[in-house]
A and B are shown apart, each in its own frame.
Chain A
Amino acid sequence: MNNALPKPRVAVHKFSSCDGCQLAFLNLGERLLSLAETVDILHFAEAGPIDEGAMVDIAFVEGSVATSRDAERLKRIRENSRYVITIGACATAGGIQALRNMHDSGEWLAGIYAQPGYLDLLPESSPIARIIKVDLELWGCPVNGEQVLAVTRALLVGHMPHVDQNAVCMECKRQHVVCVMVSQGKPCMGPVTQTGCGAICPKMQRDCYACFGPAIQANVSALSTHFAANGMLAREIAQRLLFINNQAEPFLGSGIQWQSQAAPNPTSSPGIK
């Protein structure tokens, strides 16, 4: 094959996020330097280079869209990039901050600010793919650095890689992690959560909380019914579904259903100080 290709150009863009997914690059250690030798990093504010309008082969996008200006910026990124890859729960599903989508966020703001008047927030925190076409979505809060690197490598040889979207369970089994749900009765989200993290929660003997988003064809209703049969309250089930990836279906639909069956949230009781 033709090896004399010019160096691929890469950009890393940030929207509303905690910066944790960009760390997939910054935490690569010495491999970061090899990556910098293999590609031209044209825009990556946190790492140094700034050229927001650069034409690139691969644009990695972190964060959700929360303002109309961000939406505009995003459209320009799409025009300038051959592949747009979202990295992480914020970019792929709106992130934990999208919990405000389910509330009147004006009310939330008013609860915090003296003058919420000058806020220019869109009513929703949106996943990137709601605004522009995305070529590949990498889930996780944060993304798994190895997965990002693997995808980058594949794209560099011209291969649109296949992202494993099956449940965490298979990874548990491959790593010989004893199932925490069966052996300890923990309400593990693993069976409906996309693999990619390395099953780190069950490996630590805790139940998965679905930070990698829904698995392909996740049977959320079967799992949540099972939780309910084992004593979990509707409110708890709803919170489990409406968490890091609250905007992702089928978590969203099912979560709202459970929420509607739940007793209302406890409200601030002035008695406690």
Chain B
Amino acid sequence: MNNPFMPHEAEVIARHDETADLFSLQLRFTDPLIHSQYRFVPGQFNMLYLPGMSEVPISIVSDPDDVHIIDHTIRKVGSVTSNLGRLQVGDRLGLRGPYGRGWPVVDAENTDLVIVTGGLGCAPSVSLIEYVLRRQARYGRIHIIQGVKHSSDFIWRERYDLWRQYPNVEVWLTADTGDTLWPERLGPVTQFFDQLDIDPKQTSVMMCGPEGMMKAVVHDMQQRAVPGKRIWFSMERNMHCALGSCGRCQLGAKFVCKDGPVFNYDELAPYWGHKGV
């Protein structure tokens, strides 16, 4: 019988340290058949398994059209992620996926995009940005707004500079606190919104980051009459199965693992902003 809980063996084919506690792994199923059948959309995630520890949900950051490449960018926060960080090329781990509903990259075609990221290296939004930039012709103006705690948190500076070179792309950066050399802004991400040249009816907002930041962005975008169904975010909850069975990722009537992790505001409005839901 097909057991959907069971991971498959995967191999690390490349690894890259982004910062001291952020790293990327490129994985490949060792079974070529499984690998060749693997398809995903940006915003979906995999379950990564280290034997004797646990499985953890991790977003896929590679481009879905780069068939056969499965990339993850992971922050070492606890035991499993730290041990993932110790993997070397050739090491084996368990992998299953992809799961969940990704970003509405097709629905959002022909609209302006506002992509807001809080915290650094928020994996789901990086994959989204890379995706839309590569298919820039399908979208209107693209505003990328990134907020971090401290200016020294910024990674991938080159990447921002690269993004800035695209036509019709604007990159806005801000830090809660910064040092003297910080060339960008200080303060919350919402400070940029007045300068955004967007048509609320023709804009899709997509964001990922701490729930507090997302709340502020939602509030602001609603003031600007962006419809709730065009405000999207990627949510995080505890997950053990990723199949909608274990019940741990519930958020109101939603199972984040299968109904999300990407939701629009209207879907979550009844639960939005209440502590402990």
Q: What is the interface size of chain B, counting residues whose CB is below 8 A from a CB of the partner? A: 12
- In the complex, whether B19 has a CB less than 8 A from a CB of chain A is no
Contact check, A1 vs B79: say whether CB atoms are below 8 A apart: no
* Nearest 3 pairs of A and B residues by beta carbon: A159-B53, A157-B52, A160-B79
Whether the pair A1, B87 counts as a contact (CB closer than 8 A) is yes
> B residues within 8 A CB of A154?
52-53
Tell me the A158-207 residues at the B interface (CB within 8 Å).
158-162
A153 to B52, CA, bound (A): 8
Q: Does B88 contact A157, Cβ atoms closer than 8 Å?
A: no
Specify the main secondary structure of chain B where it touches its partner: loop
Contact A2 B79 (CB under 8 A): no
Most central of B51, B52, B87 by chain A CB within 10 Å? B52
- Interface residues of chain A, those whose CB is within 8 Å of chain B, are 1-2, 153-154, 157-162
Does B86 sit within 8 A of A, measured CB to CB?
yes
- Inside 8 A of B79's CB, which chain A residues have their CB? 159-162
Taken together as a complex, chains A and B put the C-alpha atoms of A160 and B88 apart, in Å, by 20
Give per-residue flags for B162-174: 1 if the beta carbon is below 8 A from chain A beta carbons, else 0.
Answer: 0000000000000
What is the minimal beta-carbon distance from B275 to any residue of chain A, in angstroms? 16
**B176 part of interface (Cβ distance < 8 Å):** no
A158 to B86, CA, bound (A): 10
8 A-B pairs (CB sep. < 8 Å):
A1-B87, A1-B88, A1-B92, A2-B86, A154-B52, A157-B51, A157-B53, A159-B50
A158 vs B78: C-alpha distance in the bound complex, in angstroms?
A: 12
Q: Which of B86-124 contact A (CB under 8 A)?
A: 86-88, 91-92
Closest B residue to A160 by CB, please name it.
Answer: B79
Q: How far is the CB of B167 from chain A (nearest CB, A)?
A: 46
B91→A159 contact, CB < 8 A: no
Question: How far, in angstroms, from A158 to B83 measured CA to CA in the complex?
Answer: 7
Other contacts beyond A2-B88, A158-B83, A159-B83: 14, CB < 8 A = A1-B86, A1-B87, A1-B88, A1-B92, A2-B86, A153-B52, A154-B53, A157-B51, A157-B52, A157-B53, A158-B86, A159-B50, A159-B53, A160-B79
Chain B stretch 61-92: residues in CB contact (< 8 A) with chain A: 79-80, 83, 86-88, 91-92
Bound-complex Cα distance A30 to B87 (A): 33
Which residue of chain A has the shortest Cβ distance to B88 in the bound complex? A2
Provide the bound-state CA to CA distance between A160 and B81, in Å: 12
Contact across chains for A1 and B91 when beta carbons are under 8 A apart: yes
What's the Cα separation between A194 and B53 when bound, in Å? 22
Residues of A within 8 A of B52 (CB): 153-154, 157, 159
